[in-house]
Amino acid sequence: LKGAQARLGELLDNARHAVAFTGAGISTECGIPDFRSPGGLWSQNKPIPYDVFVSHKAARNEAWRRRFAMEEAFGGAQPGRGHRALARLLSAGRLAGVITQNIDGLHQASGVPDAHLVELHGNGTYATCLECGQRYELSWVRERFEAAGGLAPDCAACGGPVKSATISFGQAMPEREMARAAALTRAADLFIVIGSSLVVFPAAGFPLEAKRAGAKLVILNREPTDFDDIADMVSRSEIGDVLGPFADQA
């Protein structure tokens, strides 16, 4: 562990444009399960694909039921050591940006400014109509969902399906966020993957792109990934343990 911390510190010292790329693993110590670890969300509920959400009312009811159940279970989660370390590294000018696949809002909560944060898979804290783009707060959805006994509300303006502002499997990626992530990646000389199984594409393409463009690649992940062989450093220690000290230093 000490070796990993020292090596990471050295790589950060020598980097001019370090970028962090985070997945669900950075939030597990905050009590939010990831997808693919044993007992993770994947083993409990298979995600609802985008086309099923759009075409089946029952799928929308189920998606919102799960969303509010998650809110009950994890709504009070606070940033962990990994989030705090990244916020600290950013404010100290040692990190250029954070690209996240997470939708839990914990990078913002730890103080990473929006200008340095790319949320590739959207944000679960509000909803939009898929037809007309009208924005709804979760409280608006929840009131109607509960009043109707568990039926997903449709858009008050156009009747279209209302979906949390996150990207589902099969849904188009947000263009602006993809472009911002690509720019950060191209400029990176150090690219640090933190808590991602690296199996969800196109997101998982960024570490590969960074490596191809000449960046050093670091992978902090409990389980092996397909990219370990091309990484310059791999640590399987707990993310919070590795990054913890960076939360306390400049």
- Catalytic residue list: 121
Tell me: does residue 196 bind ligand NAD (CB under 6 A). yes
| CA 128/CA 131 separation, integer angstroms | 9
Is the CB of residue 62 less than 8 Å from the CB of residue 148? Answer: no
Amino acid making up residue 87: A
Tell me: does residue 29 bind ligand NAD (CB under 6 A). yes
Least Cβ distance, residue 5 to ligand NAD (angstroms):
14
| CA 44/CA 61 separation, integer angstroms | 17
Q: Binding string, 33-52, against ligand NAD, x = CB under 6 A?
A: -xxxx--xx-----------
Structure token pair of residue 50 = 């985008």
Q: Which residues of 203-224 are buried (b: 16+ CB within 10 A; e: fewer)?
A: bbebbbbbbeeebbbbbbbeee
Tell me: does residue 66 bind ligand NAD (CB under 6 A). no
Total site size for ligand NAD, rule CB under 6 A:
27
Stretch that binds ligand NAD, among 132-140, 151-159, 190-198, 206-214 (CB under 6 A): 190-198
Tell me: does residue 221 bind ligand NAD (CB under 6 A). yes
By beta-carbon proximity to ligand NAD, the closer residue of 28 and 128 is 28
Tell me: does residue 119 bind ligand NAD (CB under 6 A). no
Structure token pair of residue 88 = 């600290």
Least Cβ distance, residue 210 to ligand NAD (angstroms):
16
- What is the distance, to the nearest Å, from the Cα of residue 5 to the centroid of all Cα atoms in its chain? 23
Within 8 A by CB and 6+ apart from 31, the residues are: 74, 77
Is 30 marked as binding a ligand? no
Going by DSSP bridges, is the β-strand pair 97-100/18-22 parallel, antiparallel, or unpaired? parallel
Structure token pair of residue 20 = 């962090």
Stretch that binds ligand NAD, among 87-95, 101-109, 110-118, 149-157 (CB under 6 A): 101-109
> Applying CB under 6 A, which of residues 102, 110, 168, 185 lies at the interface with ligand NAD?
102
Tell me: does residue 239 bind ligand NAD (CB under 6 A). yes
> Applying CB under 6 A, which of residues 190, 197, 206, 217 lies at the interface with ligand NAD?
197
Query: What DSSP string runs through 3-42?
Result: HHHHHHHHHHHH-SSEEEEE-GGGSGGGT---SSSTTSHH
Stretch that binds ligand NAD, among 9-17, 48-56, 98-106, 177-185 (CB under 6 A): 98-106
Chain contacts with ligand NAD (rule: CB under 6 A): 23-25, 27-29, 32, 34-37, 40-41, 101-104, 121, 195-197, 200, 221-223, 238-239
Sequence ranges of the binding site for Zn(2+): 129, 132, 155, 158
